[in-house]
Structure 1
Amino acid sequence: MRAARTQRFRGPTVAAALLVASSAAVPAAADSVGLPAVRSVLGADEPCVAASAEHASGQPWALAALGNTRSLTLSQGAGVTVAVVDTGVGTGVPGLSGRVTALGGAGVDCVGHGTFAAGLIAAAGTADGGAAGLAPRARILAVRGTDERGNASVARVAAGIREAADAGASVVYVGVALAGGKSELTSAVAYASGKDALVVAPLAPDALPKDSATGDLVAPEPWYWPAAAPGVLAVTDYGPDGGRPDNAPSISGADLAAPGDAVVGIGPRGDGHFIGSGASLAAAHTAGAAALVRSRHPEMSATQVSRQLTEAAYPAAPPRLDPYAALTAVLAETPGATPRPAKAVVPAAVSAEPRRRALVVAAAGAGVLLLVAALAVIVPRGRARGWRPAG
């Protein structure tokens, strides 16, 4: 959220700090190079994305960087519904089987981006430790935010956010970043916030469009929507080396950074894997972390969950998502303040009477022992003399 950008928790666990700091040394899976790339938009004449025949094994670098193994010991997202406002989510995908509810025609994903994002949020793990989501017991609410080819519009995204909030989603992931629509999308976010739903969105598009005349990339806008709206958790991305691709849109103002480049996930059909990059995928990881926190701390409001994620993040520019710290950190009551230490409890003054009584008993006991010792010496000598005086 906008108000939380400079109010970061400065005391993450040492393990979490080392984990995030060392993420630059975590390579992508060796067998992920040959995976097909996930798309966000298809041409008018292109067929729907087919199932991938490729599979990546081993834990993806993104899950390792986020410490997912430790987080799952505390929360798996049970009882939380995350809305995915995107290209749709395939309801028959094995990794999400039985946990997807679709509004309208959002149960069919021709493009694959929405299903890929949903997998990063909540896909169940596999026996070989392959692609999985941060919150594997969360439910997914598929909401259409684009047309069937992946083309987004302000009206569709705004309506999708409202529909997600009305359907009871406590986390609303938006997979697109639009250059316009400030009024409509700000209003839609305010509506969702009024229903205690946390909206998570990418800070910028995954890729900038090209100028039709010159072929050059269009310069990025200073802000995009709905990420720039008050109450939205705006997320940017980083890759296995800790940096961002040279051609990635660069704008300031992110609340969090999360793994988003060269990440591995599921496709819209079948059990094969895809690979993708962009801030939209970093936002998906953040939405999964929000589901973990909302599951573990159901008493927290959407605003409190957002603050928990941003202030418990590893301090950097922007701060980096740390789900385990968000699940365990105890923040100060006032945003930006130093967490208060626990009050020292001074015990009441102890009465001296028990001590005096113990000393009396000890003295009496010592006296008895001395008497017994004396008698042990005197009695035998007295008997030997027939109890006559000495001399």
Structure 2
Amino acid sequence: MNALSGAMPAPTRANQPVARLVSLDALRGFDMFWIMSGEHIVHALAEATGWPFLVWLSSQLHHTEWNGCTFYDMIFPLFLFIAGVSMPYSMQGKLSRAGVASASGLSLADKKSIYTDMLKRMLILVFLGMVVNGLLQFKGYEQTRFASVLGRIGLAWFFAGLIYLNTNTRNQVLWLLALLIGYWAAMMLIPVPGFGAGILTKAGSLESYIDRLLLPGKLHSVVHDPEGILSTIPAIGTALLGVLTGTFLKNEGVSMRRKALWLLSAGIALIAFGLAWNLAFPINKRLWTSSFTVYVGGWSLLFLSLFYYIIDVLGWKKWAFVFLLIGSNSILIYLAAEGAVDFAHTANFIFGGLIRLAPLNWQPVEQTVSVTFLQVMLLYFLYKRKIFLKV
């Protein structure tokens, strides 16, 4: 209700449906493609051909051992960034139903309803992440890893959402700065018993110490967990950077071409700033350092600017259809590829005879391609029947 007149507000842009960003769905699919099977295709091609470019690309599809960053290190934060970009769009429907133009106009009752939905989504993602880690194998409390990729996505998205719903854009920027600077200060200044302050090793970092102290079950690397408690703080920053990007893309006062240019420029600036910060606070995915957040945030903006310009500005969409299939059911294919479905066994059952006819060094290539083919066919079947796993 209109607070001044008591009448229903006249239709505004807030009440109109917001066009879906096709580029965002395609970028999500592109990101997930490498996890579901794309990496295995590249590794097999590099082994079969020995071509320098493929060998280099194959090297980029492995996590960095500690400091530094490869393309593979960017996949997880890019997905979280995309989740953040989606938030202003997904929240628009809730705002429209409440008859307000922004989150600041929501009533307490409306906010409670949104908080409940967000909390449910977060808890489901935490649970699914534990299932991927083997929760339902019932190996016992001490052999269960509670931290997970999906859990971090859920937690970071949830807290970024709370910030989005309760602050304006200016304060969201301040929150982002506070999260990154605060994490940097804590990691560098708070001493760890037996190691001291600012020791950024797997065993000696504050992040690892807090995980050993507070995180239940087992850790990913015995003394350290890359999805641990403290490093979730800068991960919230990754999601919040996505939220700010989504808010900018919704601004109808800026042309789409200019938006693409701004995304490109901001991406380059963040990459440069991340490299500069790296000199004092190393870029490290396993610690999710603030420099890593800024650096990969810059690359995420570059990827988005490219997809946005090609797909949404120029209108070239058909080439990205496979990525759209993947992006429309990203959580489902992640769970399936992580072990819920044995695609390799099925592919060998169907295509094994043909694969064995190929030259020996090309058989792994055909095997990985056949797995991808089955995955895409499954996604196409679900897409045509409008079956989507939504969390």
TM, length-normalised to structure 1: 0.24
More strand as a share of residues: 1
Who wins on radius of gyration, i.e. which is larger? 1
Q: Whose helix fraction is larger, Structure 1's or Structure 2's?
A: 2
Output the TM-score relative to the length of structure 2: 0.24
